[in-house]
Each structure stands twice: as C-alpha cells, then as structure tokens.
Chains A and B, each alone.
Chain A
C-alpha cells in the first residue's frame, strides 16, 4: 500500500477520512458528543467531492437515511455515541435483515443513559452485539489507535459492501479524541470495487447460493426490500423452511468470510504464561506492560489485541488458552468481553477480569500489577 502523506490526525477525523478514501460519499447524522467531529469533517469534505452530507432530524432518521442512500448505490457512513446508538438499533437490524451495506461509528461514552458524555468507557460492547432484537449477526471493529481507526474504517466500508452487512466501528472516547500520526494515501485509493448495475441475467438480490452484489434501485431490477423474512427476490414469506433459510444466510456469510472479518494482533512471548486480551484504548496500556515485561525483561507475557470484537475471535482465544495459564482481560466496564472469553476458554486457563469504570483509563500500572501477581 503506497503510504504517502504523514499527517497528525484525530481518531474521529480518521474515521471520516478513512471512509472517504474507501469511497463513502454519503453521510447522515445527528450531533452527539463525543462523535461530532466525524460529522463535522464529513460536512467539510463531502460537498467538494460531490457527495451528500445531511444532518437529519434525529438519530433514527440518520440511520434510515444512510440505508436509503445505500440502496441508491452510495457508500454510506453515520456516527454517534451511546444514546444515539440505542436509537439506531431498530434500523440497524433492518439493514442486517435486508442486507444493506453501511458503516455505523459509535464513539463510546460512559453510560448508562446520558452517563458521562466526555468520559471514556467501553460499556457498549454487548450493546454492539445484541442491541437490536432477534438472532442477528454483527460485525464490530474496535481500533486501538488513530492509525487503526483510519484503516479499520477503510476495511469496514469495503467489507460491508462486499458481503452486504452493516459494520459497527466501536471507538472509545480516547481513540476518538486522540491525535496521532497516520500515513494516508491519496483520496480514493482505498476503495475496492464500485457497485454496478451490470449483473448476470439470473441475478437475485438474496440468492440462496450466497451473497450477490447489491444492484442499486433505478436500473430496472424490480426487487423488493423489506425487514420481513423474505425469499430470494426479497418478497415476504412465512414459509418455515424459507424463514430458517433466510436467517441462516445472513449468518453463513460471516462464517464464509471469517478470515477477512476477524482481525487480531498478538505481541509478546511465544508461549506466554500470562496473556492479556483486550481491545480499544486499553490495548495501549497493555502494550506498555508487555513492552516492559517481555521486551525488556523476557517475561512470559503476551498481548492479544482484538481489532474485531464481533464476531468474537473464538479460535484465537482457544489457541491462546492452550498456552497461557492465565488470561487477563482489562476492560473499561464492569466486565463484558470477559464473559465471552470464559465461554470459549472453558476452564483451560484462568480468566481474570481487570475492570475500571470511573471514567478514567486503565493505566499500565494497574495491568502490570495484575500481571505481576500471576507471574510470581
């Protein structure tokens, strides 16, 4: 990848710029702290690119407008924070069911409710998984740096388009508001495949055989889009085998493209006794710990950071549990991903939560202390 310009950029802005580089030309949103800079950057940039920026009347409408524009063939993005993410859930479920691509950025603030709008937290992990009703698949990426915010957004936009699945970018306030260096290629370099109206004659919008490209409205393919269970052409059905098939197909595509979806990164000792698993800004504190413990002192410590938190990287966790005696799980919440880890570790290793929920980041010292306790 030709990385050309080094720039100092804020995490929220990196989401906006990454999206633009991956071809997003439509943004609908509603102001909310701490995500507003995404909207502001889009409002400044999209008009010059011939794109659409629209500030909608509310969060629900923003999500709806994004889906509408995607059906029109545009690449789309919206951004919000906790309360707004709650409001977006119904239409997010619609996009999953109707298989309409779009990317939803949630810059987490501390909740529940209005909570602490400017305090960092990672309390929306389970909401990202189960916020909308019904048995749905979800993809959520969680960047740990501004660089990752940029490139995971690029990946989200392209992947969302490819498999026709909405993708959540789960940032936290620290990553959203932090400024860091990013190397970015020229605008437009990172877009994979444009949507096209040229499709085979037997094209079906919801083909039983697997994902087909979305053919935008207005090109003479008169299919139906609905949130109801539907057949291969999108028409409502209550026929039990078709209903089950409809649900299976939206889950199967995540299995099929798992290698492109599930992104993790491991650093540290090859055979760690103590492994740290975390995501988002907490990765930064954990990395500092591993640097000191492993790189300087050759301790048997490692860090698995999860860029993808949903679908859950269960294979990676299972493999880690075979080596490590202890898995430490620092999170800025009361313990959310830790339950998922326990579920997959199945007692093969000790799973220990390290939580903080006072609106402050978990420090390297806090993690280091826990590591020390288990190493000795």
Chain B
C-alpha cells in the first residue's frame, strides 16, 4: 500500500484529478498498470516521456507526472518518431485508442512498426470511439452496434497484433483491464524490449459501447473479459475450435530485429 501511495505522489499529477473518465471506465486501470510498470522497470522519471493521441484514453498523459505530449488525432506515433530520433536515450510510452491508432493513425502505426523504432505503444482497445459518443472503429467486432452502425457493423475488424507483426514490429502482447497485474508485466516487458513494442490492452467502455450492446455494467464487462481470456501458454495446447471466441493474452511475439534509431545513428557514425 505504501508503495502505491508513493507512486501516486511521484508519477501522478494528483492536483489534476479527478480525471474526466466515466465511472467504470477501464482507462484508469490501464493507466495504473502503466504507472506500476514504469516503477517496476525502475526508469529514471526524467527519461520517461508519455505521448498520446486524441480520445478518452489519451487524456491519461495529462495525469502522469513526466514530460507528457498530448498530440493530434492519430499522429502520436509520428510525433514520437521525431522525438525518439532527436533524443534516442528517452523512454517513450505512446498511449492511443483503437480508432486513434488503427483508423486515422493506421499509416503511422504500420510505419512505426516497420521501422521497429524503440518505443512502447499501448493501444487501449475499447472497441469504440468513446469520446465522440460511440462510433464504430476498425477494432469494433463485426456485428456489434455503434451510433454509426445502429444495426451492427458489417465491417471486419483488424487483428492489431498480427498487423504489427506483419509490418515489422518485434514485440506484441495483449492484456486486459480485467487482469491488471498481467497487463503491468506486459508493459514492463514491452518497454524493456528494444524495438517497436505493441501492448494491446482490452478495456471496458461501459458508456459508449457496453450499454448499446447490452453487455451489462462495468463489472459484467470486466468479468466477461476475464472469462474469455486465455493465456498464450494454455492456448497453445488447444485447437482452433476450442479457441473460438477467446482472447489470447500474454506475449504473442518477441523477436529480435534491427531497431531504427540505433541503426540510424550507427550508420551516420560510419559515414563520418
């Protein structure tokens, strides 16, 4: 308990609280996991930078006591790329929402992954545009309702982890707000990995997503999330049929690949 309080003091801008999130929102859980992950990895507060896009989850940046950069919609990774190249020693955590990252920011996402630039991208996936009141995103599961898909969306959803892998990212993990300890560990591991690390964090949005899709209250949504999730280790022993409807959580891939900022600076020192 004492440690948590200390963390709150150091890493949270307590004067900026209360936050703007709805009661029962998963954003707070993911943000708390991030704070603990930074603590666990023992980074110097000065070296940590939080970059975020636009949307509910991206407001987390304003509550975290580091150098924080709240950017434009979809562009967080492009801002982060410039910052990382200017200051490779900094530890970047980039918080994005699902629509922010995969729709308007899709191009930056695949290219940041392709460059394998060293940063930790945390995509808070609540399957919906929350801040604008519940429009479907590329991560809204097919058939689910949104204000812009009143009869259920007929669009297929992205598999973000595989998209990142295909584009060249070297670390991909998935966690949920229902399992905050695991999520914290995944963020720590992702941040210690050299290269583009994606952490997809499933998070309940009871207001703009749950209600319309009759998923119950926040507790029901979290329970459902937990019940559906299955660890990579256990999943590896199961067949496709048994895995239908399940969310596989844990480190999905962890590869070694050249990292952009390091390669760039190495290449220019050779040229000298």
Q: Give the shortest distance, in Å, between B15 (CB) and chain A (any CB).
A: 9
Q: Which A-chain residue is minimally distant from B87 (CB atoms)? A: A72
- In the complex, how many angstroms separate the beta carbon of B43 from the nearest chain A beta carbon? 12
| Bound CA–CA A73/B117 (angstroms) | 19
Once A52-B85, A218-B87 are accepted as A-B contacts, the answer to whether A226 and B107 lie under 8 Å apart by CB is: no
Name the segment of B70-78, B120-128, B198-206 touching the other chain. Answer: B70-78
Contact: B83 with A235, CB < 8 Å? no
**Interface positions of B from 37 to 93, Cβ below 8 Å from A:** 45-47, 49, 51, 61-62, 65-72, 75, 78-87, 89-90
A69 and B86 contact, CB distance less than 8 A: yes
Nearest CB in chain A to that of B76: its residue:
A64
CA distance A300 to B272 in the complex (A): 58
Flag whether A311 is at the interface (Cβ < 8 A).
Answer: no
Main secondary structure on chain A at its contact with chain B?
mixed
- Determine the chain B residues whose CB is within 8 A of the CB of A60 once the complex forms: 75, 78
B246 near A: Cβ within 8 Å?
Answer: no
B271 contacts across to A, CB distance below 8 A:
47-48
CA distance A227 to B65 in the complex (A): 18
Dominant secondary structure at the B interface: helix
Is the C-beta of A91 less than 8 angstroms from some C-beta in chain B?
yes
**How far does the alpha carbon of A73 sit from the alpha carbon of B88 in the complex, in Å?**
12
Contact with B along A234-250 (1 / 0, CB 8 A): 01100000000000000
By the criterion CB–CB under 8 Å, are B72 and A90 in contact? yes
Chain A residues 182-209 with CB under 8 Å of chain B are none
Known: A57-B108, A61-B108, A235-B16. A68 touches B82 (CB 8 A): yes
Residues of A within 8 A of B78 (CB): 56-57, 60-62, 64-65, 68
**Interface check A66, CB cutoff 8 A:** yes
Contact between B75 and A61, CB atoms less than 8 A apart: yes
Distance between Cα atoms of A279 and B69 in the complex (Å): 37
Q: Could you say which interface size class chain B belongs to? A: 35 or more
The answer to whether the Cβ of B268 comes within 8 Å of any Cβ in the partner chain is: yes
User: Quick one: which of A70, A217, A222, A236 has the most chain B CB within 10 A?
Assistant: A217
Interface membership of B6, Cβ < 8 A:
no
B46 engages A220 (CB within 8 Å): yes
Cross-chain contact A54 with B85 (CB below 8 angstroms): yes
Chain A, range 50-102, C-beta contacts under 8 Å to B: 50, 52, 54, 56-58, 60-62, 64-74, 76, 90-91, 94
Interface residue? A354 (CB, 8 A): no
Report if B267 contacts A (CB, 8 A).
Answer: yes
Smallest Cβ distance from B71 to chain A, in angstroms? 7
Check if B62 sits within 8 Å of A235, measured CB to CB.
yes
A47, A62, A76, A218: which contacts B49 (Cβ < 8 A)?
A: A218
- Chain B 182-195 interface mask (CB, 8 Å, partner A; 1/0): 00000000000000
A26 touches B62 (CB 8 A): no
Residue A20 CB within 8 A of the other chain: no
Check B83–A61 contact: CB distance below 8 A: no
Query: Would you call A224 and B61 a contact (CB within 8 A)?
Result: yes
Rounded to whole angstroms, the CA-CA distance of A72 and B70 in the bound complex is 14
A216: B residues at CB distance < 8 A: 87
Distance in angstroms from B89 CB to nearest chain A CB is 7
Query: Which residue of A has the minimal Cβ distance to B66?
Result: A222
Given A57-B111, A61-B107, A217-B87 in contact, is the A69-B82 Cβ separation under 8 Å? yes
Check A50 against B268 for contact (C-beta < 8 Å): yes
Verify if A128 is at the interface (C-beta below 8 Å from B). no
Q: State in angstroms the CA–CA spacing of A248 and B69 once bound together.
A: 22
Is A218 a contact of B71 with CB atoms below 8 Å?
no
Inter-chain CA distance A220–B16, complex, in Å, is 19
A223 within 8 A of B: yes
Q: 19 A-B contacts, Cβ less than 8 Å apart?
A: A47-B267, A47-B271, A48-B272, A57-B108, A58-B107, A64-B78, A64-B82, A65-B78, A66-B82, A68-B69, A68-B81, A68-B86, A71-B79, A72-B86, A76-B82, A218-B87, A220-B45, A222-B45, A236-B62
